[in-house]
Chains A and B, each alone.
Chain A
Amino acid sequence: MNMSPLSTVVLGAALLSGSFFRAQSPEEPPEQDRRPPEGGWEITEELEDATRAGLAYLARTQDPEGFWRGDVGYKINSSYSPTAENAAHVGVTALATIAFFACGEVPRKGRYGKVVDRAVAWLTRQVEENGYITTNGTRMYSHAFATLCLAEVYGMTTSDEVRSALQRSVDMIIQSQNQEGGWRYKPFAQESDMSITVCQVVALRAAWNSGIHVPKKAIDAAVAYVRRSATPPGVRRIHPRWRFGPGGSSGVFRYQQGREARATFPLTAAGATTLYGAGIYRDPLLKRALSFMERTFDSYNRYWGKRRHYFFYYGNYYAVQAFFIAGGRRWARYFRQVRELLLEMQNPDGSWDCNIGPGPNFGTAVATLILAVPFRYLPIVQR
């Protein structure tokens, strides 16, 4: 059997590389600032309401200690087996905190200043002496999201405490990079996979942006890994066992380096995001990836979105940034569809369900993040 386990926490934060914030007031950004002249169609009142409600929900569900809860677990085929239910979750906490950043909320100030402060303080406390950020058995996904989050915080606050924690967590990522150039569920693994590698690269990029030393060769090795993971041009269909939903055609980036490894919509989005994150904007692989994603996002989203499956959130988490950077017609078509779908999926209390996966806090954090991309507090966009 060629089963490949995937994740504890959904992947994703690639869109958050770099600084999330533009140079503007951290407090209550004026409405008109949120609507860039060229992107006026992106931000609707419904979208703003939805992100506001999402943040309100997250603020309500935050534990007084600063964390958000979620089911810590692992993927088996298309199901999710929890190992710690409704537990303090490093990855969910990091993503939820980033969601606040993505909507222009910052530490110490504003309506959600205390929420963010509590979350950051809790995350900082979870950094082990060896740099690994974990609790209740969370894994490298969570570590990467948390590193990313700390990098953003450090960029904003230049706190020595955060810097020390961030430096250690970055060192852990770098020193656990394996010979393939990638990473796996746990540090120091011999093997790699695409989804985890993307998270680490994005975290490194954010740390670098905030002034932390990141060796160039670590990034080079990771980019080389992503390139090696690409499927050969012309492959139209992958192994039927790896369909994972509709549209069985092969994507561009594979889960692992092997002929039989699956190349799905989210993995393709993840690969594209990595290349963009590494400053590569023109590449035949990117062209192929965007074409594939454009062909398949509609069916993918409807299939997994209806199930409130974490595949949906994780796939779009990558896709939104890839399309955003690509811009133009592709972006408009993709974002209109995903925006409508997310608005439709939102619960009256502001949350998004994640029936298979870490839970509603996770769904809400990622959905809010996706919807917040047009606010352009996420400066990843380097068109």
Chain B
Amino acid sequence: MMLRSQELRSPVFPGSGSGACFPFLVLGLLLPASPSPSQNRALFSVAQDEGRSRRYAEAKRLLDHGKYASAIGLLREVLESSSSAVTRSPDGGYLGLRYLARETLARLPGEAASIYEDLAKGTAKLLLPDALIAPEGGSFQRLRESYPGTRAAETALAAGGLRYLEQGRVVRAWHLFSSLSSLYRSPSGESGRLICRRLLSLPLPSRSLGPDMELPFAGRNRPLRSVLRALSSTSPLPLPASGVLGGGIEGSHPSPAPLEPVTTAWSRKIPTLTFFNWNILPVTDGKRVYLNTGTGIHCLDLLTGRTCWSFQGPLHEEPSSGDFLASISPHQIQVVGFGKGLVVASIQVPKIPDIAKENTEFNGIPVMRRLPVRRLFAFEADSGRLIWSHWDPEKDPPKGFEDAVMDVSGPPLVVGDTVYVPTHKQLGTIAFYVSAFDLESGSLRWKTLICSSQVEVNMFGNAYWEHAASPLACSDGFLFGTTNLGLAFSLSLEDGAIRWLRPYEIIPLPPAQMIPQAREVYWGNNPPIAHGETVVMTPLDSVNALCFDRGTGKILWEMPFLVPDSQLGRSYPMKWMLGIRESRLWFSGDGLASLALEGTRRFQRRARLVSSASRLGIRQIEDRSRMPRGILTSRGALLPTATVGILSLDVEGKIRPGSPSLRNQTGNLCSSRGILVTVQPLSQSHRILVKGLYSFKALIDRARNKVRKHPGSPEFHLELAELIASRPDTSPAIEQQALAGYRKALLLWKRRGTSSTRPNFQRAILGLFRLELRIGRRLQRIDLRAASGHLWEAYEASRKLTPDSSKLEEILDLHELLLRSSLSAERKEEILRSLRDRFPDTIHDFQGFGPIPAGLYAAWLRMKGIPETRSAARGLATLLQEILEKWGGITMRTGKVRDLVLVRLQDLIRKFGPEVYAHIERRARKLLDASKDDPAALRSILRSFPLTKTAKEALLSLASLSARNGDFAAVLDAYGSAAELLSSIPPELKAHLSRAALAAGNRLLALELSGNRDSLPEGRLFSPATLNGIPDRQVFHSARSSSRDFGHAATTLVSPLFVRGFPSRTPPPLLLLRNDRFRLMAFKNIRSSGLPDLRKYDWEIDYDPGVRALPSWVFGEVLVLSDPGRVRGLSLANGKVLWSLDLSEGGGGFEAEEEILLARPLRSGLLLVVTGSPASKETRPTTLLGLEPLTGKLLFRREIPAAAGVGVTDGRLFFLRPRGDRGARTSELHLCDGLDARSLKVLSLDGRRLPRLIPPSPDRIVLASDGVYLLTLLPGGFRKPGLYALDPEGEIRWEIHPPRLGERDGFILVGKQVQLQIGFRSMRTARVLPLDRTTGKASPPVTLGRMAFPAEERSTWGRIPPRPRGFYVWTDSEDAVHLSALGGTEARTSWDTVLPWESSDLRRDLVSEGALFGPTFLLLGKERRLGRRNELDLLVLDMETGSILERMSRSYRAYVNIAPWHGYLVIHSWLDTWILRAANAPGSSLKRKKRR
């Protein structure tokens, strides 16, 4: 690589005054510079692409010189610019480079145009075939984008539109056609007609577009003919007015005036998280009112105010939701956008932004404020069903959305099938974007970076408010908006390419003082209003309303927010830009003002004050953020005020004579169908008040008039019926009128032959259904027969309804109601059929059953209705079998369907003999014969016909098949099924499993199944990895390994115990470390590489063992890790999770509070997992699970209603269960089978024949090969405290009652002895009493000193150590510490050694749980604090003689773990890892050390 030295570069920096010919400097001077910081210009950055700017300038120059080919080449390069790239325009603005190139290419002069056409034609020839075979119309669109303005592009657009039409995506097709209509070469009308001609004449590849086909278009289904007619019209298609501006802020044109008289028809109070928020604006689609509180959505019925649906956003779940309140922008407009039956809104989510995790301050000075984060959510307008959202609490941002999801900074605008929304990234600076998302999926269409800038910051530079952009406006293929960061913008709707950006004079931000100041804001956050060739905006950071040239962004005029009253000599501030009426722009604030849009050419304009607060007699509002937003109407304007209510003004600004009295009303307004809606926050409250203002009578009168004038119009009949049905003062007569209205409308449509799927038809049917249901319900208590009639009518109506999710609940409720009513049997049968056929799988909460499928409900009811007689038994069995097969896995309130059915079937067979079941048996047999050893078919027989003889055969076939295939897991499955389904396990199945287990490497299970249970010597079920020699040679030391490689995390050594009987093909010498970020890391094979490499782990996995760390185990090559919530089997080789039992999944029937209490290997080759609630195991059930450790397959599951404890000694399972009254303190000891956890023997520990255990605890119970040993410390019943030896049948073999048993005493079984430990773990002189295991005969006691404890494992009270001797540590009267070995068989194996430690050292414990044992030596360690560091002192002792062979010490920090690991000794502290190797063979080393 060549390096550039500094000498090769320009030696002089521009500031030094020499070297002026430096080329970049020259270029820099030639090119327009960055915006100069001027007094009233905002600081922002935009994406200036200087390279492409130069290319564009060069292309223009070449065009002027007639070098067209080169110019076109350059322009096509510029066309590749990002949508954000801009260049400075001479008048101080910025123009989008991509847009400029596109425009220039589309308007090339004659000769250039033909060169360009030829070029495009050539490429199109290559590209079109590919586009034609592509399934999506987007390929055409890309072709068109490559050659804008050419005929090839036109062809591509038309073809793309057709392709979309074929797919039924009419709105997308319309987008393309409308782009086509705006192409320069084809006048828009011509292109529209061209498309239609092509549509009608072109043979389409599919016949999906028949002339009778209906397509969703402009909000509803329309026949293809009318779609074509609309497409051929020269005017742009009408967009729903409510969806255009600001996501639903109406106002660019007057709203319909409310029908007078206006009175409060309904009012609702809705809770909000925000406080006194005046920016919640209502929008309506003519049927419903939508409200976005900023943290949730509420949809109310426009006529009644009834809540149709609501959505409580995720912030409501956040406990610290209040943290955001102070930093919510008071200018953030909160409305929804809607289109195509969907509602889209930005809702605050509980995301913690990177910039500020919490509100912090220093001496009262705010340092950081947690900013609100808003994301888009889309709902089905009818039902409120969430369709998509850009929020996932589990992962934010959701995968795949990283580029799409940004924080929303304004309301969404829905146009066609796209949602446009202002967004930003707050990363210390605001990177402001406009993003476009697919309406139906929420996926990103495009995003364009507009600019970056800053809002108010504190003196630490941290943002003080969230950023609020203006709502967007769309007009003629372009989006308009203002960033409120000193820049207005216009973008191409299609791809987001910037058309222009325009800076304007701003109100400067206040300096960042200790307590930040908010910038003074005068205007409301109005959406832009486009009119003719202009667009008007009211940026929040400007004192002026600004009018921009639509095409270039040039500012044409400005108008200050203050409007003077020349007569009074005062000025009145305006805030809201209400819209356009008769070519005048209307504003409201402290009065009403208007401005002529055409005429004057002056730059500085003044609005005409139409009416002022003084003239209207209203008090001016001090806090302008609380000034509500009114509306323009066809009669004038409705002006809400804080003091005198809503004023209805005419165009002259006078209060309209005879206008409705709305003195007590105020709030933000919207108006639709003659109804006025107001929304106002309630003072001092987290609620908003929503009102619907209208007169029922006036509405009904108007509707009646319409019906009278147009009696044949079903629409007017429907409108009238709906109005009548929604009347609050309902009566039977009124209801009958409404019913008649609905019926009339339906009749008229039927006569017309209108399809019942048409929206209005469905609306009428739904109205009829709901009204009949309502009447039926009401009459149920008065007149059952009449009620049934209405309910039946409702049922008839429901059959014509398209059952979507919004209506299903009601329809199923009706079915349930009808089944409980006094209907005839035939009709009830029909209802049952309807449930079975129409809603077989629809889940509904049926009374008494819980949420179950409707089909099951119907079948169950039918089953209940069948009498239990011999003649009906066969049919009943058939129905039960059907239920079992279809819904066996479902749980009803009364229990599992499968269990209930099986009990019933067994009853039937018992009562009427096997012949009632014979036909089912035959079916099973037939299936078995046809199964041909297909495992899936065999499993299906097992599942569906568990009571047949065939099932047993299927099971054996399955097991035999799996064993033949070497599929251990499948054999286990078969065994598990047998255990669940059959009363006993067939011996053949056991044999199959035994063979498979042996082959798979589970020797213990194989032995257990073959009946050879005690093949493993006592105490030898498992062991830690052994240490084959004296650890005397350090082979590795890694200092600070943990901090270096795993962050600052503290690490601990994980040393699993190895279970015997599981051979391993490959040795697993991995070093396992866990850090405090709960990652378990496995390191390289020490043997193969000589030394471990602690810089890089081989694999890692999350592992949080919890407070009660459960030991980990190794079964062959499977490492079993247990933590409180799950048990996992991992491959030791690569850390891959082979199986997992996860309590949090709940699928296994685990309760939420359950934890894993115990996980231990059994002698049966299974892993016992005990789950339950640790706090209340005596009252809540405990579950015993038996897992095969290599596969994770569950072999048994047993639930104990209440257990005092579950114990496993030497791989033998038992549990204690309190019995009867807890005060009686008696218990049952269950000795369990290791294969299925069945209780083989139950011993009653009641103090009569056998002693009581007080308290009942498994701690001092040992199950051994020769029986049960239990030690009681307190008298209970008739039994004295002492050690009891029971035979396997529970009979006492012998018992001994030594005096002065202490509460910390215990016993161990060593060889043929029981060593009873008396006076242990206390300051008393301790004794060990050796007892013969067979007879109980005591040998002379061995006296130790004080503070005695077993060296091997200090915390247990009864156990079987793996060695035939007991090792004890104790302190003598001279304060010397001893280690004694007491032989289990011969006294000569006993010895006593004085350790070179002080007794005070022992209080800090041996470093590990106990001593570590090699084949011939043991190793003891203690730790001692030395100043800031600790010291570990290790002793290696000869196990035969007790002599000290080696003494070593290590200095370490924090804490230490020590473990043997396949011939090595690993000592690990927080920051250090030492590995010592025993280089010498055990025998020789001992000799050598002894000599020393």
Contact = CB atoms under 8 A, between A and B. Distances in A.
Interface stretch (B124-132, B355-363, B705-713, B987-995): B355-363
A19 B4 contact: yes
B34, B357, B1044 interface centre (most CB from chain A within 10 Å): B34
Interface in A203-260: 205, 208-220, 223
A186 B43 contact: no
Interface in B241-259: none
Nearest to A138: B428
A279 interface: yes
Contact of B48 (A24, A109, A171): A171
Interface in B1-56: 1, 3-10, 12-17, 24-25, 27-29, 33-35, 37, 39, 42-48, 50
Contacts of B47: 129-130, 168
B427 interface: yes
A136 interface: yes
A178 B508 CA distance: 12
Contact of A215 (B34, B45, B459): B34
A129 B1 contact: no
B452 interface: yes
B431 A26 contact: no
Nearest to B4: A155
B429 A188 contact: yes
Contacts of B357: 83-84
Interface in A325-358: 349
Contacts of B1045: 60
Interface in A51-95: 60-61, 69, 74, 76, 81, 83-84, 86
Contacts of B457: 186, 189
A176 B28 contact: no
Contact of A19 (B6, B355, B1040): B6
A189 B28 CA distance: 25
A22 B5 contact: yes
A179 interface: yes
B1047 interface: yes
A186 B429 contact: yes
Contact of B452 (A3, A83, A130, A185): A130
Contacts of B462: 186
Nearest to A378: B6
A134 B452 CA distance: 14
A176 B45 contact: yes
B873 to A, nearest CB: 71
Contacts of B1235: none
Contact of B33 (A139, A168, A210, A217): A217
Q: Looking at B7, B35, B44, B354, which has the most chain A CB atoms within 10 Å of its CB?
A: B354
A5 B460 contact: yes
A168 B9 CA distance: 21
B5 A379 contact: yes
A130 B5 CA distance: 30
A214 B452 contact: no
Contact of A279 (B16, B45, B360): B16
A118 interface: no
A21 interface: yes
Given A5-B459, A132-B431, A188 B454 contact: yes
A175 B43 contact: yes
Contact of A177 (B37, B39, B42): B37
Contact of B428 (A61, A134, A168): A134
Contact of A132 (B7, B33, B427, B511): B427
A75 to B, nearest CB: 9
Contact of A130 (B3, B4, B50, B431): B431
Contacts of A74: 367, 460
A208 B24 contact: yes
A108 B1 contact: yes
A291 interface: no
B365 interface: yes
B407 to A, nearest CB: 14
Contacts of A266: none
B449 interface: yes
- Of B354, B360, B429, most A-chain CB atoms within 10 Å: B429
A187 B4 CA distance: 31
Interface residues of A, number: 76
A223 B1047 CA distance: 41
A40 interface: no
Main secondary structure of the interface of A (DSSP, over half): loop
Contact of A216 (B14, B39, B451): B14
A278 B13 contact: yes
A172 B5 contact: no
A21 B7 CA distance: 10
A138 B460 CA distance: 12
B175 interface: no
Contacts of B187: none
Contacts, number: 201
A190 B356 CA distance: 21
A175 B45 contact: yes
Given A26-B1, A60-B1044, A128-B427, A174 B34 contact: yes
B1286 interface: no
Contacts of A262: none
B188 to A, nearest CB: 35
A178 B43 contact: yes
B1110 to A, nearest CB: 29
A189 B454 contact: yes
B832 interface: no
Contacts of B449: 129-130
A219 B8 CA distance: 22
A83 B512 contact: no
B663 to A, nearest CB: 46
B461 interface: yes
A186 B454 contact: yes
Nearest to A222: B15
A137 interface: yes
Contact of B354 (A137, A179, A190, A209): A137
A215 B33 contact: yes
Contacts of A184: 461
A208 B6 CA distance: 12
Contacts of A24: 3
B425 interface: yes
Contacts of B461: 5, 139, 184-186, 189
Nearest to A75: B460
B1048 interface: yes
B453 interface: yes
Given A19-B6, A128-B427, A211-B24, A187 B45 contact: yes
Given A129-B84, A213-B27, A1 B6 contact: no
B1039 interface: yes
A190 B509 contact: yes
Contacts of B25: 216
Nearest to A157: B1
Contacts of A3: 362-363, 365, 459, 514
B452 A349 contact: no
Contacts of A137: 354-356, 427-428
A36 to B, nearest CB: 15
A305 interface: no
Interface string A273-305: 000011110000000000000000000000000
B368 interface: yes
Contacts of B429: 130, 132, 176, 186-188
Which 9 pairs show the lowest CB-CB distances between chains A and B? A279-B16, A185-B461, A175-B45, A23-B5, A379-B6, A188-B454, A186-B461, A216-B14, A188-B43
16 contacts: A3-B514, A22-B6, A61-B1044, A108-B1, A129-B431, A132-B429, A137-B354, A137-B355, A175-B34, A178-B37, A178-B43, A187-B452, A187-B454, A188-B42, A210-B9, A219-B13
Given A132-B431, A187-B454, 18 more contacts: A83-B356, A131-B45, A134-B428, A137-B355, A157-B1, A175-B34, A175-B452, A177-B37, A178-B43, A179-B39, A185-B428, A187-B43, A210-B4, A218-B34, A220-B15, A278-B15, A279-B16, A379-B5
